């Protein structure tokens, strides 16, 4: 047997018309004799056969058969083509097809020799020199075997160097079987791994006339071509291990840092939940960390020296509480308080001025044709003067605006804007509607839509006052009584403002009780701005009761301060008067004593 390492061998057989039938039979036996002495198999030597004349025919490829019996049956079934002698075409086919990995050739990096054995009896009818050079450059070792009439120059042009080892000329077909033994010795040669001191650390693989070293699985061959090093499967970074990668004989395994365990995917790591063991004794919360756990207290509590129990802390000194006046700590929490006479706002931090509450205010303005464009601008200024009095914010006072004429239009709902500046800009952008005066329709729209929670009115349960301010300059073209009554019955405090031809009877029907405090009238638009002073919306409701006229938050605050200062001054004066009276009485008594003493002396 040929004891060299695995080979990829392709027989390229000339079956042109010059090869007679009995001569072709000797070529069959030549191939089978050589195959019979090879160690064939998928991991040993692979064999393929092609025949050619004017065309090329693949008998079987390198991947077709892996036993000698199958190969011999295929060789015996070959029918010669009996045409021309296109040897160059056959070499081209061997290079481009027969020796490809798709046809069963092993990849070049495995260093398995690729050998083409060309057997021909005549001169090629095409060029072979150039294509043979290409085949040799592609890594194919070519043996050229000529019989009888073969052209020696063509054989030498096809074969690989050294030519004396790759070119053979046999005088007749009868002698080819005798030549097969000689050729086999050339092909197989000696086992170089046995005959030489190869120096391979792991394995030596013999090839015709040479050898190479291979490493065991899990190792790679070093640059010296002899020694082997373990393959670091972790080095390429594609292992996917979350923590550590450990190389093991060409493979790898993942490991986790202390305090973690390897997950089911054998790559990611999960921290051990030490708190789940149930022995932490933490009063509030247990927090797992690698290699252990620690106790944590709820917000407003401090961990005690035993590292387990918790005690409440003064949150007012430890957090940015944002209280406008004063922060009061409670166990585990805190709350804000305001000075006496002021109320805590909905944000839970700020205090109202002068004890004022917040409101949901919807202003309904007349945009009918009788108002005229220049006067409508004054109406918008009137609205913005009222906005200036309010503390507008999402948690404070909310403002909505409705304009009406023959129809009704919501200019912006209660939840649209959150600052006075935004509202004032939106008011100035409102466009004049013109046409009729449907005040009743506007009241209906206000009740059904403007004070709905959908448009930003806060729920009645919040006790936020709902105030409707209706502005009109003339008689309504529809009935107002029904929806004016419904507005007040639904809890809306109604104010009515009339200008010019406004009807007092209608204004009084709109206004809430007491009527005198909830409606105002001005003869013309140019003088109506003073009406703002008559409305104490969101302005000191306690101090504003009775006959006192309150004009602005600042005036209210000043009035309260004035009253406080006045009382203090009067008390001071009273105390001084009492002392002065006592001193005067003492002085009078002494004068009377002196008078008596003088009278007695006389």
Last residue of a domain, one of 300, 333, 353: 353
Token pair 């906005």: residue = 387
Residue 449: the pLDDT is: 95
Token pair 């086992």: residue = 191
Instruction: Mark whether 335 and 426 lie in a shared domain.
Output: no
Residue 141 backbone class (left: φ over 0; alpha: ψ -120 to 50; beta: rest):
beta
Question: By residue range, what is the domain housing residue 509?
Answer: 358-535
- Give per-residue pLDDT as tens, 216-262: 887 889 999 999 988 888 887 788 899 999 887 768 889 998 889 99
Contacts of 67 (CB under 8 A, 6+ apart): 40, 41
Instruction: Mark whether 451 and 334 lie in a shared domain.
Output: no
Give the H or E element holding residue 574: helix 553-601
Last residue of a domain, one of 535, 554, 587: 535
Instruction: Mark whether 144 and 277 lie in a shared domain.
Output: no
Q: What is the mean pLDDT of the chain?
A: 82
Q: Are 40 and 242 in contact (CB under 8 A)?
A: no
The crossing angle, in degrees rounded to 10, of helices 68-76 and 21-36 is 170
Q: Tell me: pLDDT of 550 over 60.
A: no
- CB hemisphere CA count around 388 (13 angstroms): 12
Residue 493's DSSP bridge partners are 467
Would 235 be classed as within a structural domain?
no
- Give per-residue pLDDT as tens, 442-487: 999 999 999 999 999 999 888 888 999 998 888 889 999 999 999 9
Residue 254: the pLDDT is: 93
- Express the helix, strand and coil content of the chain in percent, nearest 5 each: 35, 25, 40
Would 395 be classed as within a structural domain?
yes
* Dihedral sign from CA coordinates of 154, 157, 161, 162: positive
Q: Residue 431 maps to which CATH number?
A: 3.40.50.410
Q: Tell me: pLDDT of 187 over 80.
A: no
**With the CA atoms of 309, 312, 318 and 321 taken in that order, what torsion angle do they form, in degrees rounded to the nearest 10?**
140
The two beta strands, 114-120 and 56-60, are unpaired
Q: Report CA 273 to chain centroid distance, whole Å.
A: 28
Would 365 be classed as within a structural domain?
yes
Instruction: Mark whether 132 and 167 lie in a shared domain.
Output: yes
Question: What phi and psi, each to the nearest 5 degrees, are found at residue 163?
Answer: -65, -30
Q: Residue 320 maps to which CATH number?
A: 2.10.25.10
Whether pTM > 0.75 for this model: the answer is: no
Instruction: Mark whether 170 and 284 lie in a shared domain.
Output: no
Q: Report CA 112 to chain centroid distance, whole Å.
A: 51
Q: Tell me: pLDDT of 552 over 80.
A: no
Would 237 be classed as within a structural domain?
no
Residue 529: the pLDDT is: 55
The two beta strands, 398-404 and 360-366, are parallel
Would 78 be classed as within a structural domain?
yes
Domains contained in the chain, number: 4
Instruction: Mark whether 320 and 301 lie in a shared domain.
Output: no
Would 541 be classed as within a structural domain?
no
The two beta strands, 466-472 and 360-366, are parallel
The crossing angle, in degrees rounded to 10, of helices 21-36 and 176-188 is 30
Residue 563: the pLDDT is: 43
- Residue 196 — pLDDT band, cuts 50, 70, 90? confident
Instruction: Mark whether 302 and 366 lie in a shared domain.
Output: no
Q: Tell me: pLDDT of 537 over 60.
A: no
Would 243 be classed as within a structural domain?
no
Residue 282: the pLDDT is: 92
- Give per-residue pLDDT as tens, 173-186: 666 655 666 566 66
Last residue of a domain, one of 161, 185, 209: 185
Rounded mean pLDDT, 546-554: 37
Instruction: Mark whether 160 and 113 lie in a shared domain.
Output: yes
Contacts of 392 (CB under 8 A, 6+ apart): 398, 399, 417, 418, 419, 420, 423
Would 296 be classed as within a structural domain?
yes
55-69, 185-199, 314-328, 556-570: range with highest mean pLDDT: 55-69
Instruction: Mark whether 506 and 525 lie in a shared domain.
Output: yes
Instruction: Mark whether 346 and 380 lie in a shared domain.
Output: no
Instruction: Mark whether 168 and 100 lie in a shared domain.
Output: yes
Separation of alpha carbons 4 and 34, rounded Å: 14
Instruction: Mark whether 298 and 175 lie in a shared domain.
Output: no
Q: Tell me: pLDDT of 81 over 60.
A: yes
């Amino acid at each position: 047997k040929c004891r060299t390492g695995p080979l990829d061998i392709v027989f390229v057989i000339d079956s042109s018309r010059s090869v007679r039938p009995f001569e072709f039979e000797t070529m069959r036996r030549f191939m089978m004799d050589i195959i019979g002495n090879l160690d064939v198999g998928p991991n040993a030597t692979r064999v393929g056969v092609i025949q050619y004349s004017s065309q090329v025919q693949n008998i079987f490829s390198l991947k077709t058969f892996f036993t000698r019996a199958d190969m011999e049956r295929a060789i015996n079934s070959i029918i010669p083509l009996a045409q021309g002698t296109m040897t160059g075409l056959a070499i081209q086919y061997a290079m481009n097809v027969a020796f490809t990995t798709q046809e069963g050739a092993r990849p070049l990096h495995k260093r398995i020799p690729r050998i083409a054995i060309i057997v021909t009896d005549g001169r090629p009818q095409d060029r072979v020199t150039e294509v043979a050079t290409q085949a040799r450059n592609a890594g194919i070792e070519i043996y050229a075997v000529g019989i009888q009439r073969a052209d020696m120059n063509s054989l030498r042009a096809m074969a690989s160097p050294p030519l004396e080892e790759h070119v053979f000329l046999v005088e007749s077909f009868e002698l080819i079987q005798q030549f097969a033994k000689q050729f086999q010795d050339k092909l197989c040669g000696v086992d170089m791994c046995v005959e030489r001191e190869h120096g391979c650390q792991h394995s030596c693989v013999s090839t015709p006339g040479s050898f190479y070293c291979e490493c065991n699985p899990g190792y790679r061959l070093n640059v010296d071509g002899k020694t082997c090093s373990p393959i670091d499967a972790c080095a390429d970074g594609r292992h996917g291990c979350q923590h550590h990668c450990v190389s093991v004989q060409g493979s790898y395994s993942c490991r986790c840092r202390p305090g973690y365990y390897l997950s089911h995917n054998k790559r990611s790591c999960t921290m051990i939940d030490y708190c789940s063991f149930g022995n932490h004794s933490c009063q509030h919360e247990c927090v797992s960390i690698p290699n252990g756990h620690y106790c944590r207290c709820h917000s407003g509590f401090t961990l005690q020296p035993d590292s387990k129990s918790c005690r409440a802390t003064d949150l007012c000194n430890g957090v940015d509480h944002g209280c406008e006046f004063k922060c009061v700590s409670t166990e585990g929490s805190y709350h804000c308080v305001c000075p006496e006479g002021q109320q805590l706002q909905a944000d839970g931090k700020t205090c109202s001025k002068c004890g004022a509450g917040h409101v949901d205010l919807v202003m309904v303005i007349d945009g009918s044709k009788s108002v005229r464009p220049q006067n409508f601008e004054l109406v918008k200024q009137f609205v913005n003067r009222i906005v200036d009095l309010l503390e507008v914010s999402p948690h404070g006072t909310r403002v909505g605006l409705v304009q009406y004429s023959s129809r009704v239009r919501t200019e912006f709902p209660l939840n649209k804007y959150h600052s006075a500046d935004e509202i004032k800009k939106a008011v100035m952008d409102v466009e004049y509607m013109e046409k009729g005066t449907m005040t009743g329709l506007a009241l209906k729209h206000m009740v059904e839509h403007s004070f709905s929670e959908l448009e930003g009115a806060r729920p009645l349960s919040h006790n936020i006052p709902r105030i409707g301010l209706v502005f009109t300059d003339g008689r309504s073209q529809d009935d107002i009584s029904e929806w004016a009554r419904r507005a007040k019955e639904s809890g809306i405090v109604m104010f009515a403002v009339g200008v010019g031809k406004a009807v007092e009877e209608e204004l009084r029907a709109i206004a809430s009780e007491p009527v005198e405090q909830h409606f105002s009238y001005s003869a013309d638009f140019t003088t109506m701005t003073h009406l703002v002073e008559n409305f104490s919306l969101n302005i000191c409701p306690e101090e504003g009761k009775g006959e006192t006229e309150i004009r602005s938050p600042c005036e209210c605050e000043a009035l309260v301060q004035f009253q406080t200062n006045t009382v203090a001054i009067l008390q001071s004066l009273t105390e001084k008067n009492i002392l002065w009276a006592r001193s005067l009485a003492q002085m009078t008594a002494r004068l009377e004593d002196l008078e008596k003493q003088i009278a007695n002396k006389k």
